[in-house]
Structure formats: structure tokens, C-alpha cells
Structure 1
Amino acid sequence: MTTILSKKQLSLIGAGLLILLAAIWFIGNIYATRAAEEKITATLNGTPLANEIRWEKLSANIFGTVTMENLALGKGKSFLTVQKLQLSGFENSTSSLQGKLLVTGLADANGQSPLLENELLQNAGYNKAAPVNLSLDLDAHKTKGTAQVSLALDQHEVIKLNGSFALSQAQQLMTLLSSALEGGKEAFNPMMFFSFGAMLEPIRVNNTEIRLEDQGYMKRVNTLVKRYDIPLVPSEKNLDTEKFAKEQHKARYEQALQQCALPGSQGQFFDKPVDSCKAVVKFMFEESDSLKLKLKSFPLSQLDELVLSVF
């Protein structure tokens, strides 16, 4: 039985197709890179950020993924660097706004994590921390004013956070964000600052799930508490400080668990108040190295209260 094409001819055609596809991929990527750089530059030029953002390398592929390497953001004390920024699946149409953003190696002018400016790290005695990694996944429907958001933060040797939530009644915010991404000057109008609060007021946060994984932060905090929470009383000069610290730690832990059962002490945000309160206590006292919380729907304006209720 003979075939229309010989094996040799099929091999040549197969090799030729692979070469053609490789060429299309290569040329397509070059075109995509050029188009992406032109679009980003044009967008920035229409904003006050034109001279605030610089990068060494930009590449894009025909599937719409844009990668920027060695970015510099801002000037002076607010100067930040990013080892790599990657945006994929980006769409900013009349009805939707979506995309996934990965930020690798975000650091300040000293090469340290900008999270060192946070009081939680400062109070725990951190004077250095590796650059932080972040990710954001957004799927928003502008006309409905709704959005699904997933985010992650990985601060090496400190803490890892993963969260997801939904937004509703956010039409105004999405319009502003969409305009900013297109370089719209109204988004950077200083007068917009005065109406920003009113813009956020109607937004509600729904279906929130948060997961924290300790990578050294809680251990450091508890070590400091045990070390310095020792009475300076002359009569206690023979005190077994290590034993005393452990007893104090256990007593505080049990007291905190008991308080979770008291009315009004669990916080208004938790889906299961008592269980959530106990989970927070166990995490903070190193009885568990991870914490998972589900929250009730709440107004975005109460976000600061939520943070205080957890920490």
C-alpha cells in the first residue's frame, strides 16, 4: 500500500511547518513587544507618571502577556524597584476590566521590602526584609459595578497572605480605574481627591476569604514578648525566667480563648464569630501556623475597623 506522500516528504513538510510556526511566533512576539511598549509609553505620557516609571527591558508575546524587567518607580525617598512585572489576560473594554498582575521583587531604594515601613514589622524588631512578591487577579464588570478579586502577598521569612473577595456597587471606581489605565487625565486631576471618599462610600465587599501563613513573624513576636515580659523585682532575682515566660504565655493564651466566648468580643465581621476568634488567637500564640477566615459582607469604608479587629 502506497501513500500520497512519502515519509521523507512528510518529515520535510513537518519540519517546514515547525520552522514557519517558530518564525510566526518570533515575528509576532517582536510586533507584540513593539506594540506593547508604544501603548505603555503613550499611556504614561498622558499622565504625571511619565517621568516616574522607567524599565530596562520589556517583552510581549502574541498571547497578550507583557513582561517588564528592572523597573524603577518614583524618585527620592519614595523610590521603588521591581525585579519583574508581568501582566496577562488584560482587557479594558466598555463592559469589562480584567487581567492578572504579578510583581516579583518589589523593594525600596535600599533593596529592602517597603513593608518595613509598616508598624507591625517595626514593632517586631525587623530592620531588614527581602523584597516582597505580589499578585492581583481582577475580573470586573463595569456596567454591573461588580468585580471578583484575588490577591497574594509573599514576604519571605515574615508572612504569606492569600485572599479573595467580591465588590459590588463599584461603578464609579471602575470608571476611574479604567480611565487611569488608558491615560485619562481626569483620573489624575487633583480635584478627584476630594470626591474619592464619596466614590468609595457605596462599595460593599462580599464573599471574603483570607488565609495567612506564618513564615517567622508570629514566632518573632512571641519570642520578644517572652524575653521582655519579665518582672524587674529585686526579690525575684532567682526567678527562672524561661519557665516564667512559658507560664505567662500559656496564661495569656487561655485568657484570650476565654474572651472569645464573651458577647461582643468576637468582632462583627466574621462569618463564624467564636470559631474565627479562636482561630485568630491560636495563630497569634503559635498554636497554629496558618489562619483561615471567612467574612460577612461589609462596607469598604469599614476596612480599617476590620484590620483592627483581627490584629
Structure 2
Amino acid sequence: MKTIKGPAVFLAQFVDNKAPFNSLDGMCKWASDLGYKGIQIPTWENFLIDLDLASESQTYCDELKGKINSYGLEITELSTHLQGQLVAVHPAYDLMFDNFAPEALKGNPKARTEWAVDTVKKAAIASKRLGLNAHATFSGALLWHTFHPWPQRPPGLVEMGFEELAKRWLPILNVFDENGVDVCYEVHPGEDIHDGDTFERFLEATGNHKRVNILYDPSHFVLQQLDYIEYIDHYHEFIKSFHVKDSEFNPTGKKGAFGGYNNWSERAGRYRSLGDGQVDFKKIFSKLTQYGCDVWAVMEWECCIKSPEQGAREGAPFIQRHIIEATEKAFDDFAGAEIDQKTLKNILGL
């Protein structure tokens, strides 16, 4: 067993144009002062990391890591959630997802995809230079618009969709493999990898590529009414990254899992600040520790009610309370005795 590392925080939702959330130094001091020990860095925020330079310069990476370490923090993972999303975009989502792309690439899906693939590859190299062994991202989606199909999906569509998704990711996965870094796909609604079955489909389509792994976030499973505890039993060997995020599902006579096109605060399923939702984190931390999952516990704050400032203040002690110091001895060792083969036979009556 291994003790989960943390607490850490994903910086993406806290970025702002006001101090301390508009500079790396400001965000590091803020996180450290709140008791966090690690930060997950969104690579699309250039003031936090210059990904192009990080993929080219070991000196830059050493200086970046040194600055972060000076605040008593470690980098848990780099994140390419937005760029990973753009590796696979169905045309129905082109206009909305163009917001994730550089201005010069908007309206050009082919060039946008090429840029996304190249950018995620750079994150693999940068991760190695920073001494990281896991990376957080999204898979993108070609099939999501058919998740509740009407008319029915034609035979072969799902297989073709995952073949194409794997085709786009395999060159990226190979670069990550060359750099010794695992790709942790956040299993998330809106992505073609959104539950256990879809993860297995993608894994198979990549030829069981050893760098295909999971960013485990139970909040998304509550909204899907999926057993997020049993999920760990099935996939613990693939869980290499962990978002600590809460959520709740409160269906009514008017709305359920699909949400009725309501805003987040009015949906039956909604994300909440840590401790305010329905996720059983005691069981989660126990399971992950039991299986020896070597992960950082990274808070991702998304709540439609509580302020990010309060969510961040409460997040570090919440995670710290749930981290289990993995035991190195059995509780009944005191009652044992030295055993040899003869004693074992005597116990069995042989």
C-alpha cells in the first residue's frame, strides 16, 4: 500500500486577471498559504508555463520547478484538458470549441486538430523535463452526440468512432511512452471516454497501449449514477491521477440526468464544493490506499453555490483529513510466532 500524496489543487478554475491569481508567484504563495503541497498546472495559461519553451529547454524547466519548489510546492501533473479536447471534435461542436484554439486557427478544424496534437506531444516532453510521470487530459469526442441515439446508431458506428479516436491519439501516446509519462484521461461526460465501458473500448482500440490510463474523478460518476466505488475495484491499476471533486444528484418530477437545459444551480446533477455533495470520500481514499494507487489528491473546485475562495480554504484541510497513512505492519503481528515447515504441518494435522 502507498500513502496518497497531497493536498494539491488544480489551478485552472482560480485563474483571474486580478492578483494573486494572475501570476505564477501569486498563485504559488496563495496555494502554499492555504496548506496545499502541490499544484496541477493548466498548460493553456501561458503565465503559468510556456509549454513551447518547456518542451525545448531543460534550463527553463529547472528554473520553473525551482520557483514552485521555493514555495514548498511540487508540480503534480501538467494538464492539457483543453488541447486534448481538440484532438477529436465533432463538427457540431466546432464553433464552441474554437474558443479553446489560438485565434489564427479558429474556423479551421484541420489546422486546429494538428495544433492540438502537436501541443499535447510537447506536454509529454515538458513533463519528462519536469520529472513528472503522469499527465492529465481529455480524450475529445467524435461519438458523444449519439450517446442517447435517436434515430438508432447504425451498426459499426461506435467501432469506427473509437478506431478513429485511437488513430489520432496513438502518435501522441507513443511520444508519452518515449518520455516515460502516463496519459491520464479524465473520465468525463462530453468525452468519448466517459465511463468504464468506453475506457475499455478506447484501450482496446489502441492495442492496449501501456500509456493509456485514468484520471479518476468521482463527481462525474455521481451525475451518471455509476458506482464510483466499484469503479476503483475494476480499474485501480489504471488510476494514475485523482481529482478530488464533489457532486450531488437530486432528481425531481421535472428533471433528471439530462438536466432540462437548466443552468448548473438548477440541474438535478450538479458539482459541489468538497464536503457539500454526496461523494463518499472516506471509502474512496480507503480503496485507493488499499490498492496502492500512487496518486496526488488534487482538489478541483467547481461549485455553483459556494465561492472559489471559500472552496479553496476548505479544500486543503478536507483532503488532509482524508489522506490515510498506509500501514507498514499487520495489526495482529504481535500475536504471531516464528513458523517453520514442521509447525505448519502440525497445524494442519499432517
Same fold (TM over 0.5): no
Higher helix share: 2
Query: TM-score scaled to structure 2, two decimals?
Result: 0.23
Query: TM-score scaled to structure 1, two decimals?
Result: 0.25
Higher relative contact order (CA 8 A, sep 6+): 2
Higher strand share: 1
Q: Pick the structure with greater CA Rg.
A: 1
